[in-house]
Amino acid sequence: MKLGRGLSKIKCGLLLSDSRLMRLVFGLCFVSLCVSGTWAAPKQLRFNQQGQFKILQVADMHYADGKTTPCEDVLPSQMASCSDLNTTAFVLRLIKAEKPHLIVFTGDNIFGSDATDAGKSLDAAFAAAVNSGIRWAAVLGNHDMESTLSREGVMKHIAGMKNTLAQLNPSDAPGIDGFGNYNLEVGGVQGSILQNKSVLNLYMLDSGDYSTDPSIKGYGWIKKSQQKWFRRTSRALKGEYHREPAPQKHAAPGLAYFHIPLPEYSSFGASNFTGVKRDPISSASINSGFFDTMVRAGDVKGVFTGHDHLNDFCGKLGNVNLCYAGGFGYHAYGLTGWSRRARVVQATLGKMRNGGWGGVESIRTWKRLDDSRLSTIDVQSLWTKRRAASKF
């Protein structure tokens, strides 16, 4: 792949000595903080004056103890100088290059069994996002709770961090399964007719870790209580979008982020997806029906997971795109010579007949590789609104 060709000139930190890597990380931190000086963290997520909202998805950082934690599946020549700090350097490069409006971490943020202190590991793993001043969110994977904090403790710690929009759980769903179920609303452009409406809805869910039912083996799944909360939230958001002022005919599009892929990710053949499928689809061994629940709700256009580090594809099943981000972290299994990567999603608003910004008109995605050029690959359209709907 691209990593192979320019190894001697690579500047992503992977081949740099420890001291040079430290300088790069601090240098990028400084650049990032300078850049962030112009992006005051907004009180509320909203589309910018250019009618765009961009989300950076970081899957499977597998962060442990930082500089002393070695990398996995990198070239032998890279091993000596490679650590968790390479993961941090990659986050910083992406922030500088993409300038996202939101960063979403989709679980296995830390690799608990190798993290000496879960709190310190979480602080280090999210430091680049925290210091950037950009709003960020996170959900849990199946490895986050294997250190010194419980699953609830990890999510509480994350929800208490600076600049995060992560929540332990919704206040209107007592007894909901899991930790880290919440939704985020993205408002229309300031000054536009939709400034006080959520024109893009983000659903964050805890897909669990492992089955707790002895008769069912394997990974966890999104439970009925979570689906009930999702249905209710989706319905309420649609109701608000349809109401005065500026009532909208269709639902605002939604995107769902969680860790473990749904069984429906196995629906794609050899050619009807974009990207790479090198891992088996490691979903739960039962189907809890969340895909069908989303189809019935009708608003979710894309699902974004991690978990299978060597899968980075997007495939469309019905009207829902099922996407992986691909493995990100250097202390995570990967494939030697295959660049670590991240997914970007950008939603763009349409114009009303009066020239003002309206609702979301299109959603696109691409991936970025941690190679010398931070290559952009697999640019694709996920969703486009039918034009008939703009009334204003």
* DSSP result, 188-241: --TTSTTTTSEEEEEEE----SB---TTS-SB----HHHHHHHHHHHHHHHHHH
- What's the gap between Cα 188 and its chain centre? 21
Closer residue to Zn ion (CB): 261 or 275: 261
Closer residue to Zn ion (CB): 234 or 339: 339
Minimum gap (Å) between residue 105 Cβ and Zn ion: 12
Closer residue to Zn ion (CB): 260 or 300: 260
Q: Which of 46, 56, 60, 209 binds Zn ion (CB under 5 A)?
A: 60
Closer residue to Zn ion (CB): 65 or 108: 108
State the Cα–Cα distance between residues 15 and 75, nearest whole angstrom: 10
Residues 81-110 that bind Zn ion (CB under 5 A): 108
Closer residue to Zn ion (CB): 108 or 114: 108
The verdict on 371 binding Zn ion (CB under 5 A) reads no
Closer residue to Zn ion (CB): 238 or 331: 331
β-strand pairing of 300-305 with 314-317: unpaired
Q: What's the alpha-carbon Rg for the chain, to the nearest Å?
A: 20
Closer residue to Zn ion (CB): 64 or 320: 64
Minimum gap (Å) between residue 223 Cβ and Zn ion: 21
Other beta carbons within 10 Å of 162: 13
Minimum gap (Å) between residue 235 Cβ and Zn ion: 33
Residue whose Cβ sits closest to Zn ion = 108
DSSP state of 41: P
- Distances 107 to 112, 206, 327, 335 between C-alpha atoms, Å: 11, 9, 11, 20
Contact range with Zn ion by CB under 5 A, out of 54-62, 178-186, 235-243, 246-254: 54-62
Residues 105-134 that bind Zn ion (CB under 5 A): 108
Closer residue to Zn ion (CB): 282 or 380: 282
Give the burial string for 259-289 (b: 16+ CB within 10 Å, else e).
Answer: bbbbbbbebbeeeebbbbbebebebbeeebe
Half-sphere exposure of 202 (CA within 13 A, CB side): 29
Minimum gap (Å) between residue 331 Cβ and Zn ion: 10
| Cα angle, residue 349 at apex, residues 228 and 37 outer, rounded to 5° | 95
Minimum gap (Å) between residue 317 Cβ and Zn ion: 23
State the Cα–Cα distance between residues 355 and 340, nearest whole angstrom: 41
Other beta carbons within 10 Å of 235: 12
Residues 260/208, Cβ–Cβ less than 8 Å: yes
Number of residues located near Zn ion, criterion CB under 5 A: 2
Minimum gap (Å) between residue 283 Cβ and Zn ion: 14
The binding site for Zn ion (CB under 5 A) comprises 60, 108
